[in-house]
Amino acid sequence: MNFEECMKFISSYSRLGAKVTDLSRARELMERVGNPQDKLKFVHIAGTNGKGSAVEYISNTLIYSGYKTGQLTSPFVTHYTDRIRIDSKEIDEASLGKICGFVAERAANREYSQFEITMAIAFLWFEREKCDIAVVETGIGGLLDSTNVIPPPLVSVITSISLDHTAILGDTLEKIAEQKAGIIKENSVTVVSMDNCESVCEIIGKKAAEVKGALVKPNPNDLEYLSSDGGVSFIYKGKRYKTAMSGDFQMFNAVNAIEACTQLRNVWGFEIPDENISKAVSETSVQARMQYFNGNPTIVVDGGHNPDALSQLSKEMRRHKADGRKIYAVTGASETKDYRCNMAYICDFADKVYCVDDFSESCISAEKLAEAALRHTEAETSTLFIAVRKAKSLARRNNGIVVICGSLYLASMYLNNMDKI
């Protein structure tokens, strides 16, 4: 298969596939392609926010330490192959074509999802390239997520849990936590982020105890926040770190990764020097995660799409407002999101909001967004390209910052076209 044929084959499946109540469909697919996951070692990551950052911190530490590391993230940010990587290098077209053809011959006309097909391609590539370990992010949830077909991972990582995908995962933190905890398996170590509430940690701890697995919850007394200035500086267990990425929450993501890498070293014998962990924290950056583009004006791109993520963005932007900066937001939202709550957080920092709806088939109308925004601040509807140009013009005149936010699809469209705007 060439690249176009691969994309046509993958796109022939629906985004989610038929509704699942167990992992039988994903297991059937993996059996059809030879169960490559059974020949691999894993770090498995679930959570609401912070999964992508955790994948990168842990992967980079392993790569710096000389381990051939597979990486599977969800969803892709700017193009399909950025979600399947080895040592941060995307799958090449020749490998994709060969493996995709192999999967196509065996998938038949089953109702798989695009993500299940993508997972099969990724695991086959990792196995064929003889990866030492794979760092894998769940798609949605954990218990019924197709990535949960993997054998017991060396380390399970649970990042921050908040309300998102409530129609699928449940409408309370506790219900969502039960789904995320589904990745915890016997003979594994579980690391849970310290910024989770007590009820969530209890559910994670109960699941770990059921499978007789070790649980690591970082102690807040070991963490000292220092400052946020072009990254977050902090001390953890007596060592000083500074993240490349902005946002105070990156401190918690980094601590999670530090503990996961420590467990890989202490429990599983991976040779991971402390300096490689520090290097990963200080050098890792992720697209569309509070991503700064310095220029005239400064532009910030953030794909966060739930209230917790938008509250963190608001906290970061209010620091700039305290320094006298004006903030102009270009925003959109998918129809499955709590757009009113998200808009309240955006309007908390934005001096003006441009609402757009031309970036995805499943987005909420710009008029609805503007109606919600006008309760809090000045707003108008537009198209993405025109909105960005207007926001940039205002920002140049008023010592301002342009923030593109509210949806990962919106962030992706901007990043793919930023040179044209």
Q: Which of 260, 203, 254 is nearest to 226 (CA)?
A: 254
* pLDDT of 289 over the 90 cut: yes
Contacts for 209 with CB less than 8 Å, ≥ 6 apart: 215
Q: Is the peptide bond before 36 cis (omega within 30 degrees of 0)?
A: no
Residue identified by tokens 């690249």 is: 3
Whether pLDDT at 206 is above 90:
yes
Closest Cα partner for 141 from 260, 40, 51? 51
* Three-point CA angle 292, 334, 321, nearest 5°: 35
Tokens matching residue 291: 């991503």
Range 381-408 average pLDDT: 97
Q: What's the token pair of residue 145?
A: 């997520």
Average pLDDT, the chain: 94
Q: Which two tokens stand for residue 377?
A: 């601040």
Mean pLDDT (whole number) for 244-251: 95
- Provide the β-strand partners of residue 299: 293, 402
Dihedral sign, Cα of residue 374, residue 375, residue 378, residue 383: negative
Question: How many angstroms separate the CA atoms of 142 and 169, rounded?
Answer: 9
First to last CA, the chain: 34
d(CA 332, CA 349): 16
| H or E stretch at 42 | strand 42-46
Is the predicted pLDDT of residue 86 greater than 80, yes or no?
Answer: yes
The pLDDT, as a whole number, for residue 169 is 67
Asked whether the predicted pLDDT for residue 140 surpasses 90, the reply is: no
What single letter denotes the amino acid at residue 409? Y
Is this model's pTM higher than 0.85 or not? yes
pLDDT band at 23 (very low <50, low <70, confident <90, very high): very high
Tell me which H or E stretch contains 392.
helix 384-397
> How many other C-beta atoms lie within 10 A of the C-beta of residue 50?
29
Give the pLDDT mean for 348-353: 97
User: What's the pLDDT at 165?
Assistant: 57
Q: Where are the alpha helices (H) located in 129-241, listed in sequence order?
A: 166-169, 173-180, 198-210
H-run or E-run covering 226: strand 223-228
Three-state SS for 248? coil
Percent of the chain having pLDDT more than 70? 97
pLDDT reported for residue 337: 80
Assess contact for 135 and 59: CB atoms under 8 A: yes
Q: Which of 241, 239, 68, 48 is nearest to 157 (CA)?
A: 48
CA 238 to the chain's CA centroid: 28
Q: Whole-angstrom Cα distance, residue 264 to residue 272?
A: 8
Amino acid at 118: T
Q: Say yes or no to pLDDT of 167 above 80.
A: no
Find all residues with CB under 8 Å of 160, minimum gap 6, and list them: 47, 48, 49, 50, 193, 195, 196, 249, 252, 253, 308
pLDDT at 338: 86
Give residue 86's identity as a one-letter amino acid code. I
Q: What is the pLDDT of residue 166?
A: 54
Which residues, 6+ apart, have CB-to-CB distance to 22 below 8 Å? 144
CA gyration radius, the chain: 21
The first and second tokens of residue 61, run together, are 């530490």
Count of CB atoms situated within 10 Å of the CB of 18? 10
